[in-house]
Amino acid sequence: MSFTLFIQNREIVTPGQLLGEGKLTVATPVTIYSIDGKFFSAVVGLVNIENEKISVIPLEGYYYPKVGDVVIGVISSIGITSWEVDIRAPYPALLYASDFLNRPLNPGRDMISDYLNIGDVVLAKVEVVGRGRAPILTTKGKGFGKVSKGYLIEINPAKVPRVIGKKGSMLQLLIAECKCEITVTQNGRILVDNCPNKDLEEIVILAIRKIEREAHIPGLTDRVKEFIIKEKVRRGLLS
Amino acid sequence: MSKGKVKLIDNGLRHDGRKLDELRTIKMEVGILKSANGSALVEYGKTKVIAAVYGPREPQMKFMALPNRATIRCRYHMASFSTHERKSPAPTRREIELSKVIREALEPVILSELYPRTSIDIFIEVINADGGTRTASITAASLALADAGIPMKDLVASVAVGKVDGYLVLDIDEIEDMYGSADMPVAMAPALGRITLLQLNGVLTSEEFIQALNLAKAGIKQIYEIQKETLKRKYLTVKVED
């Protein structure tokens, strides 16, 4: 292996910053570009070097749909056989009525607004992303479909991996400490549901906001754990 | 010097006390607007500019969408209170031209082919004008783009060089622009070493032109460092709550 690095692990880089030279493996092709064997960052982000693989994790960003992503969408408009869903992507997604109802649709008899109306929230999966057309969603599968209760939080999509944590550690911590059902989706919408009480729900929301704010500072899991315990004591749930 | 003209350079110092190759006090801040995806405030002395970036998002008008890359829209506007006499808020010929020039200064660095059929909208509002608004606008817009997380090859920094009383001076303000004999705004992507904007009003000899360009490059380098520092500062100053 012959390469040189000009940055350190966990350093904040800016667009145009020279990262390295030579035979490097790039793990994030969108945020790193190369000219003549030199690698530059394309965004403001954190550098991560692992097993000779270099990646830049953006600190700001928006959601760009990928096939297989689980997303929470809000119905933004109603067509004859499909809904248009806002998934916080540059393009509105489509959800076909026949897919949602799991049976063929009779446009003469069925009014699809009876099933989902504008403003309704759905948990869905991205099925198709094509260059020439809108992404298509599907609600087939367990747990997918209309969301009728719970607390919806929107965070910056670039911070989603932090809320989940390494191998899901952060999410497990939140669930274990607060006993809520938490659904984290790739487009930065988080659903908090079935909490034992209002206080725990509020703690989860505050903890997620804290994660979003301090996502780039190491030692996050420990700080969040401390924060939850402190909040619990303050609210009298723990002595 | 002709009769009735103000003496702008005295003892090698300019009317505001700066040296010939000295920039004005530059202040920058990112993330100042909540509703925009990315935003920046840039001050070159008394010149004050706000830039906001939205997108990549669905184009407002479908026909604007390009099949292979994102459409970049740019609007440069001077607030009616930004000048000494009230400026009509309607876009003037000058503002329309500057919008295009600024857009073309930024387009080469934005990796727009990653987001086909979308639009990236840049809004620039001049809050106070004291010369060098287009250069401050380009600096602010590139910061706002980086703050929005839009992938770009490099930041763009910009500064103007002028010829005043026969001397080449860096970062000219309104008075120097008014009484000077030449004004040359330059925008550059320093890491790539590419010039994205080069305009010249007035007359420079070919030797002066090369000198002026080198002066601008030196100024751009300083501004670029401030830009990078500003972007990093947003994250480094986040305090960990105990």
List the CATH number of the domain containing A177: 3.30.1370.10
Q: State how many domains chain A has.
A: 3
ipTM > 0.85 for the complex: yes
Can you list the domains of chain B with their CATH numbers?
16-236 (3.30.230.70)
pLDDT given for residue A60 in this prediction = 87
Interface residues on B facing A, Cβ-Cβ cutoff 8 A:
37-38, 55-58, 67, 109, 111, 114-118, 146-155, 189-192, 227-228, 231-232, 235-236, 238, 240-242
Chain B residue with CA closest to A211: the answer is B240
Q: For chains A and B, what is the number of CB pairs under 8 angstroms?
A: 93
Domain encompassing residue A22? 3-57
- The answer to whether residue A131 sits within a structural domain is yes
Give the tens place of pLDDT for each residue, B30-54.
999 999 999 999 999 999 999 999 9
A14/B228 CB distance under 8 A: yes
Contact A124, A163 (CB under 8 A): no
Tell me the CATH number at A33: 2.40.50.100
B57/A18 CB distance under 8 A: no
Mean pLDDT, to the nearest integer, of A210-217?
A: 88
Looking at the fold, whether A138 and A155 belong to one and the same domain comes out as: no
pLDDT given for residue A23 in this prediction = 83
Q: How confident is the model at residue B11 (pLDDT cuts 50, 70, 90)?
A: confident
- The answer to whether residue A65 sits within a structural domain is no
Looking at the fold, whether A219 and A161 belong to one and the same domain comes out as: yes
- The answer to whether residue A22 sits within a structural domain is yes
What 3-state class would DSSP assign to B166? coil
Q: How far is B232 from chain A (nearest CA, A)?
A: 7
- The answer to whether residue A219 sits within a structural domain is yes
B155/A210 CB distance under 8 A: no
Has residue A1 got a pLDDT over 70?
Answer: no
Mean pLDDT, to the nearest integer, of B65-71?
A: 91
Looking at the fold, whether A140 and A112 belong to one and the same domain comes out as: yes
A16/B117 CB distance under 8 A: no
A61/B231 CB distance under 8 A: no
Q: How confident is the model at residue A90 (pLDDT cuts 50, 70, 90)?
A: confident
pLDDT given for residue B242 in this prediction = 54
Lowest mean pLDDT among A20-29, A173-182, B232-241: B232-241
B58/A61 CB distance under 8 A: no
SS3 content of chain A, % helix, strand, coil (to 5): 25, 30, 45
Question: Which member of B37, B57, B152 has the closest CB to residue A15?
Answer: B152
Mean pLDDT, to the nearest integer, of A117-136?
A: 89
Question: Which member of A12, A30, A210 has the closest CB to residue B235?
Answer: A12
Looking at the fold, whether A223 and A174 belong to one and the same domain comes out as: yes
- The answer to whether residue A239 sits within a structural domain is no
Q: How far is A175 from chain B (nearest CA, A)?
A: 22
Rounded to an integer, what distance in angstroms lies between the CA atom of residue A108 and that of residue B209? Answer: 73
- Nearest alpha carbon to residue B126 among B170, B92, B156: B92
Alpha helices in chain A (DSSP H): 97-101, 160-164, 169-178, 198-213, 220-234
Contact B215, B227 (CB under 8 A): no
In the numeric block, which tokens belong to residue A149? 């209760």
Mean pLDDT, to the nearest integer, of A216-231?
A: 90
Q: State the Cα angle at B157 between B156 and B163, rounded to 5°.
A: 135
Q: DSSP of B26-55, one letter per residue? A: EEEEE---SSSSEEEEEEETTEEEEEEEEE
pLDDT given for residue B117 in this prediction = 87
Percent of chain B at pLDDT above 70?
Answer: 96
Q: How confident is the model at residue B1 (pLDDT cuts 50, 70, 90)?
A: very low
Mutate to test the interface with A, among B152, B188, B237 (most CBs of A within 10 A): B152
Mean pLDDT, to the nearest integer, of A30-53?
A: 90
Q: For residue A21, how far is the Cα from the chain centroid?
A: 32
Contact B22, B176 (CB under 8 A): no
Partners of A42 on chain B (C-beta within 8 Å) are 111, 151-153
- The answer to whether residue A102 sits within a structural domain is yes
Rounded to an integer, what distance in angstroms lies between the CA atom of residue A141 and that of residue A125? Answer: 9
| Residue A236 φ/ψ, nearest 5 degrees | 80, 15
pLDDT given for residue A61 in this prediction = 84
Rounded to an integer, what distance in angstroms lies between the CA atom of residue B130 and that of residue A7? Answer: 39
Looking at the fold, whether A142 and A156 belong to one and the same domain comes out as: no
Q: How confident is the model at residue B241 (pLDDT cuts 50, 70, 90)?
A: low
Q: For residue B80, how far is the Cα from the chain centroid?
A: 19
Beta bridge partners of A46: A12, A57
Beta bridge partners of A21: A4, A38
Mean pLDDT, to the nearest integer, of B7-22?
A: 90
In the numeric block, which tokens belong to residue A23? 């035979």
Looking at the fold, whether A82 and A142 belong to one and the same domain comes out as: yes
pLDDT given for residue B5 in this prediction = 65
Give the end of a domain, one of A91, A125, A147: A147
Tell me the CATH number at A77: 2.40.50.140
- The answer to whether residue A40 sits within a structural domain is yes
Rounded to an integer, what distance in angstroms lies between the CA atom of residue B41 and that of residue B220? Answer: 17
- The answer to whether residue A218 sits within a structural domain is yes
A14/B38 CB distance under 8 A: no
pLDDT given for residue B216 in this prediction = 96
Has residue B2 got a pLDDT over 70?
Answer: no
Rounded to an integer, what distance in angstroms lies between the CA atom of residue A105 and that of residue B8? Answer: 79
Give the tens place of pLDDT for each residue, B175-190.
999 999 999 999 999 9
Rounded to an integer, what distance in angstroms lies between the CA atom of residue B116 and that of residue A31? Answer: 17
Interface residues on A facing B, Cβ-Cβ cutoff 8 A:
12, 14-18, 30-31, 33, 35, 40, 42-44, 58-62, 64, 90-92, 131-132, 158, 210, 213-214, 216-217, 223, 226-227
pLDDT given for residue A94 in this prediction = 93
Chain B residue with CA closest to A58: the answer is B149
Question: Which member of B149, B189, B241 has the closest CB to residue A60?
Answer: B149
Looking at the fold, whether A230 and A163 belong to one and the same domain comes out as: yes
Q: How far is A239 from chain B (nearest CA, A)?
A: 19
Rounded to an integer, what distance in angstroms lies between the CA atom of residue A232 and that of residue B53? Answer: 40
Pairing of strands A3-5, A18-22: antiparallel
Has residue A163 got a pLDDT over 60?
Answer: yes
Question: Which member of B115, B147, B153 has the closest CB to residue A90?
Answer: B115
Q: How confident is the model at residue A104 (pLDDT cuts 50, 70, 90)?
A: confident
Query: Taking each helix axis from N to C terminus, what angle separates A220-234 and A198-213, rounded to the nearest 10 degrees?
Result: 150
